[in-house]
Amino acid sequence: MPDKADPQTLLEIRDLVLEATSYPPGEPPKTVTLVHGVSLAVEKGKVLGLIGESGAGKSTIGLSSMAYGRGGVRITGGQIIVNGRDILKIGAGGLRKLRGKEVTYVAQSAAASFNPAKPLMEQVIETTLASGQMTRAAAEARAVDLFRQLGLPNPETIGKRFPHQVSGGQLQRVMTAMALCPKPDLVIFDEPTTALDVTTQIDVLAAIKRAIHETGVAALYITHDLAVVAQVADDIMVLRHGRMVEYGSVQQVIEAPREDYTRALVSVRSIDHAEKPEAPPLLRIQNVTARYKGTAFDVLKNVSVDLPPGQTLAVVGESGSGKSTLARVITGLLPASQGRITFDGRDLSADLAGRSRDDLRELQMIYQMADVAMNPRQTVETIIGRPLEFYFGLKGAEKRKRVQELLDQIEMGKGFADRYPAELSGGQKQRVCIARALAAKPKLIICDEVTSALDPLVADGILKLLLDLQAREGVAYLFITHDLATVRAIADRIAVMFKGQVQRYGAKSDVLAPPFDAYTDLLLSSVPEMKLGWLEQVLETRRMESAGN
């Protein structure tokens, strides 16, 4: 670990303790310790990756290097030394000089982090102007240079645009330019690519990496994705529950992890699922075309896919590819303008209003955000009991018994029936949603990005549960996801969607085997691999290919 006197050390955090006060309803306020004595150091021009699941304290530690506590987080112990001075002792005025100048920040959601009422350039050069570092003309020239360096289209004019006029991936790069503009010594990247599609992520990642190298800035790179951090970091610190688990060079952590927890992170997605043979379909979608009311644009074009009973069809694609729209069409929320949907041998009415109660019962849905898919004022028993009452007329003791059976099935056991959603963890909430869908005894469950909001280890548990239930109950899944690792783990059949059309469709072993069409190739090769130098390799391959053409 770096020495205290080392002039190369830019940021040093010693025994950092962070606390926050929580206000549980009906109880006295409680002080919670979020980070328990973490120490780290970043040298000039180096990148330290902070990695861990949600609640590990990685963002909180990142923000503390600007002496900032989000939502009432307090720094209660330790020292934070930037450029040789303890920033906890420099006062509000000193912090204003530090923030946005010496240390800058790139947030996860650039879309929310830009002021919607101001053009981009105004925001990018704001601190550079405020500190009197440069004239407006010089600052704008520097911003345009950075836009170009980060590979943004129309670098001269993009600054005149407003945040809503620019795509998510571009906005993330503009935010990186904003962080680099005042020539900082340290940039905090807080999950800068997490909200992006894989094909966009790889470009942004490459742009960030290049910018870090060319400007020689040091960085803290925060992410939950070990494969991503392996591409940009020099050192990695693994965090869990606010404590350090492992701290070492990238090579050591990825290739020879010392701790069990790190090993689990390195090897997630251990599920092995044998593909089932082809069979006559339960759900058949033929030439479905759909558009949203009041638009002149088909979001789905001629989509045809089949799903045999008891199997899983994974629908993969980027945001805007129409995969969630397909779910809306199947459930009847958005009636198809053309095409035919057959389910269990009968035609399904395109419109929800034309469907029988059995149609509704046999086709259930689970959503990405388990939080908002449940009424926060109902207990787990009421939530799961509702379909039992609605479809089967169960009441009283009979209903309670069935709820308990379902809870056992999702491995939640006793004591959960009386809880409210707020008293459950993210994974438990998603389990309750699964139980609610199962309660209707469906033949098909549409799973819309059900594991995207969960940490990898928790998501793994949910996938295992879903596979288990499929084996026992014979239920089919239409599994919508953007995550190819999930697809590999659970699918029998795969449909790759792009711009409202099915680009590639078939059994898993066929879809994931070459030769690929151009889009599927791009999609598959963009998924980060837990391997040093993967990013350079992919970019090099792509450059060679485009040069060859």
Partner 1 sequence: MAHPILKLVAQRVALGLLLLLAASVLIFIGTQILPGDVAQAILGQSATPETLANLRAELGLNEPVVSRYFSWLFGVLHGDLGTALSNGQPIAPALGARLANTLFLASCAAVIAVPLAVLLGLVSVRYRNRWPDKLISAVTLATISVPEFLLGYIVIFFLAVQYRLLPSLSTVYDGMTLGERLYAIGLPVIVLVLAVLGHMMRMTRAAILNVMQSAYVETAELKGLRPFTIIARHAFPNAIAPVVNVVMINLAYLVVGVVVVEVVFVYPGMGQYLVDHVSKRDVPVVQACGLVFAGVYIGLNLIADIVSILANPRLRHPK
Give CA 134 to chain center in angstroms. Answer: 37
Give the tokens for residue 122: 């105004």
Give the integer Cα–Cα distance in Å for 175 and 168: 11
> Does 337 interact with partner 1 (rule: CB under 8 A)?
no
> Does 391 interact with partner 1 (rule: CB under 8 A)?
no
Whole-angstrom CA distances from 211 to 25, 140, 238, 541 are 47, 18, 25, 21
Q: Minimum distance between the CB of residue 127 and partner 1, rounded to whole angstroms?
A: 5
> Does 544 interact with partner 1 (rule: CB under 8 A)?
no
Q: Which of 1, 3, 54, 70 binds partner 1 (CB under 8 A)?
A: 70
Closer residue to partner 1 (CB): 120 or 447: 120
Give the integer Cα–Cα distance in Å for 71 and 267: 34
Give the tokens for residue 331: 């459930």
Whole-angstrom CA distances from 48 to 215, 301, 491 are 16, 45, 36
Contact between 468 and 431 under an 8 Å Cβ cutoff? The reply is: no
Give the tokens for residue 155: 């670098």
Give CA 48 to chain center in angstroms. Answer: 21
Contact between 193 and 172 under an 8 Å Cβ cutoff? The reply is: yes
Q: Minimum distance between the CB of residue 11 and partner 1, rounded to whole angstroms?
A: 16
Whole-angstrom CA distances from 426 to 132, 272, 452, 456, 462 are 46, 24, 11, 12, 11
> Does 107 interact with partner 1 (rule: CB under 8 A)?
yes
> Does 97 interact with partner 1 (rule: CB under 8 A)?
yes
Strand pairing class (85-86; 501-507): unpaired
| DSSP strands (E only) in 270-418 | 283-291, 298-307, 312-316, 338-343, 346-347, 363-366
Q: Which of 9, 40, 105, 430 binds partner 1 (CB under 8 A)?
A: 105
Q: Minimum distance between the CB of residue 281 and partner 1, rounded to whole angstroms?
A: 40
Give the integer Cα–Cα distance in Å for 267 and 183: 38
Interface stretch with partner 1, choices 93-101, 141-149, 212-220, 346-354 (CB under 8 A): 93-101
Closer residue to partner 1 (CB): 123 or 200: 123
> Does 297 interact with partner 1 (rule: CB under 8 A)?
no
> Does 95 interact with partner 1 (rule: CB under 8 A)?
yes
Q: Which of 78, 100, 159, 192 binds partner 1 (CB under 8 A)?
A: 100
Q: Minimum distance between the CB of residue 312 and partner 1, rounded to whole angstroms?
A: 36
Closer residue to partner 1 (CB): 172 or 520: 172
Q: Which of 60, 64, 104, 481 binds partner 1 (CB under 8 A)?
A: 104
Range 156-175, binding partner 1 (CB under 8 A): 161-162, 164-165
Cα torsion through 269, 273, 278, 283, rounded to 10: -60
Closer residue to partner 1 (CB): 182 or 421: 182
> Does 113 interact with partner 1 (rule: CB under 8 A)?
yes
> Does 96 interact with partner 1 (rule: CB under 8 A)?
yes
Q: Minimum distance between the CB of residue 178 and partner 1, rounded to whole angstroms?
A: 8
Give the integer Cα–Cα distance in Å for 478 and 500: 17
> Does 324 interact with partner 1 (rule: CB under 8 A)?
no
* Residues whose CB is less than 8 angstroms from the CB of residue 108 and which lie 6 or more positions away in sequence, other chains included: 190, 191, 192, 194, 195
Closer residue to partner 1 (CB): 30 or 97: 97
Range 116-145, binding partner 1 (CB under 8 A): 116-118, 126-127, 130
- Taking CA 488 as the corner, what is the angle to CA 201 and CA 311, rounded to the nearest 5 degrees? 130
- What is the size of the binding site for partner 1 (CB under 8 A)? 29
Q: Which of 59, 114, 143, 170 binds partner 1 (CB under 8 A)?
A: 114
Whole-angstrom CA distances from 342 to 281, 282, 307, 346, 359 are 9, 8, 11, 5, 11
Interface stretch with partner 1, choices 98-106, 309-317, 367-375, 508-516 (CB under 8 A): 98-106
Closer residue to partner 1 (CB): 127 or 172: 127
> Does 69 interact with partner 1 (rule: CB under 8 A)?
no
> Does 89 interact with partner 1 (rule: CB under 8 A)?
no
Judged by the rule CB under 8 A, the positions of this chain that interact with partner 1 are 63, 66, 68, 70, 95-101, 104-105, 107, 109, 112-118, 126-127, 130, 161-162, 164-165
